[in-house]
Amino acid sequence: MQTVLITGANRSIGLETAKQLSQKGLFVYLGSRSLAKGEEVVKELAEKGFQNIKAIEIDVTNPDSISKAKNIIENEQGKLDILINNAGILGVNPQTAVDTSVKDIQEVFDTNFFGVISVTKAFLDLLKKSDSPRISNITSGLGSLTLHSDPNWKYYHVKAAAYGPSKSALNAYTIVLAYELRELPFKVNVIDPGYTATDFNHHSGPGSVESAASFIIKHTVTDENAPTGQFYSNDIEDETGISPW
C-alpha cells in the first residue's frame, strides 16, 4: 500500500484529495496544523466509510512540528511514497506592491515557499526509500509570470504582491528540485488545481473541489514514463494541461 502525506488537508482541496486517494487504496496522512481538528475530520470520514486515513499534526512553518510528523511516518511506515505540499495561505487583502508591508509578504512566503522547502527537505530521505517517489507542489495560475504579462489572460487584472510571487518562487524551486532528482525515480511537479470554489476565496471560484483533487491526483499518481519538472494547470484548456511558467 502506497503512503501519502498531504499538508493542509483538513479542509477544501486537500481534504477532497485525501478522500479520493483513500478510495484508490492509498494510506493517507491527513496533515493539519491542529491535531484535534484533523482527528475530528478523520472521524467524520470514517463514519462515511473512508478507510486508511490518519490525522497527523504538521505546521509547515514550525521545524519541530515537521520533525515530529516525519518521525511518526518513519516509525509507522519506514518510507513515504507521495508528498503533496498543499498547505498555503492567501495573506492580507488587498495586496498591492506599493502598500503591502514586508512583514505581510514574508508571512505568506513562510508558508507558501519556505514551508514547502522545509517539509520537502525533511521527508526527502523517506521518499528516497520509495520505488516511485512523487512530490507535487500545489501552486496557482497566479504564479505564472508569462500569463501575468499577457493582457489577454482572463485573470490578468488579479494581481497580488505576496501570494502570486510566493507561488512564482515555488515554481522556480520546483524546477531546480526536479533537475537535481532527475537521475532518481522521482517525479517532481507543480500543480495548479485551478480557480476553485473554497473557503480560501470565499467560494468565488468556478471550479469544484472534486475536479481540483482529481486533477492533482492525475498528475501525481503517475507511472515511470510521466514527465517531471512540469507546471500543470486545471485552468489550461487543452489536453496537455501544461501551463506556461
State the average pLDDT over residues 182-196.
Answer: 96
Q: Which of 144, 85, 136, 80 is nearest to 111 (CA)?
A: 85
The C-alpha atoms of residue 16 and residue 50 are separated, in whole angstroms, by 12
**Of the given ranges (79-88, 117-126, 178-187, 195-204), which has the lowest mean pLDDT?**
195-204
Active site residues: 163, 167
Confidence at residue 203, expressed as pLDDT on a 0 to 100 scale: 60
Reported confidence tier of residue 207, pLDDT bands at 50, 70, 90: confident
| pTM recorded for the entire structure | 0.96
- Helices 115-127 and 163-180, axial angle in degrees (round to 10): 20
Q: What is the DSSP string of 145-179?
A: HHHHT-TTSTTTT---TTHHHHHHHHHHHHHHHHH
pLDDT of residue 205: 67
Mean pLDDT for all residues in the chain: 96
Instruction: Give residue 199's pLDDT band: very low, low, confident or very high (50, 70, 90).
Output: low
| Separation of alpha carbons 44 and 22, rounded Å | 14
In tens, the pLDDT along 222-233 reads: 999 999 999 999
pLDDT of residue 202: 61
Is residue 8 within 8 A of residue 34, CB to CB? The reply is no
What is the per-residue pLDDT for 237? 87
Which has the higher per-residue pLDDT, 199 or 118? 118
Question: Strands 3-6, 134-138: parallel, antiparallel or unpaired by DSSP?
Answer: unpaired
Q: Average pLDDT for residues 198-213, to the nearest whole number?
A: 77
Q: Check residue 209 and give its pLDDT.
A: 93
Q: What percent of the chain has pLDDT over 70?
A: 96
In this prediction, what percent of the chain has a pLDDT beyond 90? 93
Instruction: Locate the DSSP E strands across the chain.
Output: 3-6, 27-32, 53-57, 82-85, 134-138, 187-192, 231-233
